[in-house]
Structure 1
Amino acid sequence: MLLHLQQVLTPDELRAARAQLDGADWVDGQATAGTQSVAVKNNQQLPSKGTASQALRELVLGALHRHAVFFSAALPKKILPPLFNRYAAPGEHYGAHVDGAVLHGGGLRVRADLSCTLFLAEPDDYDGGTLVVQHLYGSERVKLPAGDALLYSSGSLHEVEPVTRGARLASFFWIESMVRDETQRRLLFDMDMALMRLRARDGESAEAVALTGTYHNLLRLWADT
């Protein structure tokens, strides 16, 4: 799955996040790199135990919990506490890597089914810094508006290209889904989106009620809570 989530943060939330980030003290991002990624990671991160990180985590998690498309696509069981990074000119980047299968943070152990990058700088604020995600049919180059996010499989090979001007700011985190199988999760998401369109067109029709029952029975069959 490779999904663009629009307007995860409101304009007010984005301004509050930027106020925290613009005055932040950053540390070397290699502090949280795994054995594979440490050789290709060159960026900065916000210290995870600082007051700024705590406030920003609460803001991001609150936004995710109200975002219906995120919930429908991810069916989150656990979300690793969000982290925050900065790629600055000249040349900070994160080479091609795959995220670890099991990750730890905030007292949680999470099987990383899905990765999410929430963009916190506008595309015009920096050059380079494109997120490149490999998938079955090739690769996708992603540079989203501030406040939008990309949800993608944690097993995907991906990278952040070097920043040549300005600074790229983002939050990143991982999700363990209630539905482990990616194909099953995608079928549920497609059905849920079709149901939303059906209700918008016809209201709570008999067909919508019947298909909602099918959706929940499939979720009941596949979900692990």
Structure 2
Amino acid sequence: MLIVEQVLHGEDLARVRSALDGAAFTDGKVSAMGSAREVKRNAEAADASLAELRRFVKQTLGANGKVSGYARPVRWAPLIFSRYGPGDAYGEHVDAPFMRADDGAEMRADLSFTLFLDDPASYEGGELVLDSQRRPQPIKLAAGDAILYPTSVLHAVAPVRSGARRAAVGWIESRIRDAEQRLLLHELELGVAALPHDANRRRLTAVFANLMKMWG
């Protein structure tokens, strides 16, 4: 799991929220697969005019160094703008392991992400709840913050009691299939970056590169 602060902020965040203010939303069950439809109650933006906005948000996520260093994206599934109003929720479920990527090809869903778009004080409830080793973790981030987590994790969106909770959600196929290997590479890269430019750093850089080739 990785939390990235301020993926969107300032004018960029305002642009996304303004576009969604005027967007048409439809029943979110349309995009759910299998038994997830039975526990999903929300709305999703249906406007074709939002295609450029989806590309912008995806490109902003992909250009974020923390996101790219952790996820190592190869493919992205089409991004969804979701909205939860009072009484809406998404019961415990796991996302589909395979999806259609932006280019229409089949992709493996390794990582899911939620990019929160509204001030958490503007709505009650609506926490993203991750089942981490059977210990529910409720997560409610500031507007513009994102969380990435393995798609295999059971998760839910708690009922919204008041206000509206909007988010951009999506899925990534990583160059590194195994979650533990992906995390180790991320930690190793961060550690190497903190070292002085000396022989030890060069050796560990070589280790990192060879592990990327071995695991990628």
**Partner residue, 2:97:** 101
Tell me by how many angstroms 1:95 deviates.
0.4
State how 1:103-182 maps to structure 2 within 5 Å: 103-106=99-102, 107-136=104-133, 138-182=135-179
Question: What percent identity do the matched residue pairs reach?
Answer: 38
**Deviation of the 1:188 alpha carbon:** 0.3
Q: Tell me what 2:41 maps to.
A: 42
Q: Tell me which residue corresponds to 2:15.
A: 16
Contact between 1:80 and 1:108, CA under 8 Å: does it hold in 2? Answer: no
2:198 aligns to what?
Answer: 205
* 1:217 pairs with 2:216: no
CA distance in 2, matches of 1:195, 1:7: 25
State the AA in 2 paired with 1:74: A
| Distance across 2 between alignment mates of 1:95 and 1:123 | 20
**Contact 1:43–1:86 (CA<8 Å) still a contact in 2?**
yes
Partners of 2:189 and 2:170 in 1: CA distance:
24
Unaligned ranges ≥5, structure 1: none
2-structure distance, mates of 1:10, 1:135: 29
TM-score with structure 2 setting the length: 0.95
Superposed CA offset, 1:102-136 (max 9, x none): 11253132211110001111101100000000112
d(CA) in 1 for partners of 2:143, 2:109: 24
**Contact residue 30 and residue 42 of structure 1 kept, 8 A:** yes
TM-score of the two chains, using structure 1 as the length reference: 0.92
Kept after mapping to 2: 8 A contact 1:13/1:59: no
Aligned length: 215
Segments of 5+ residues of structure 2 without an aligned counterpart are none
The alpha carbon displacement at 1:206 in A equals: 2.4
- RMSD between superposed Cα atoms in Å: 1.3
Deviations 1:85-113 (A, max 9, x none): 00011x10000000011112531322111
- Deviation beyond 3 Å, 4+ runs, structure 1: none
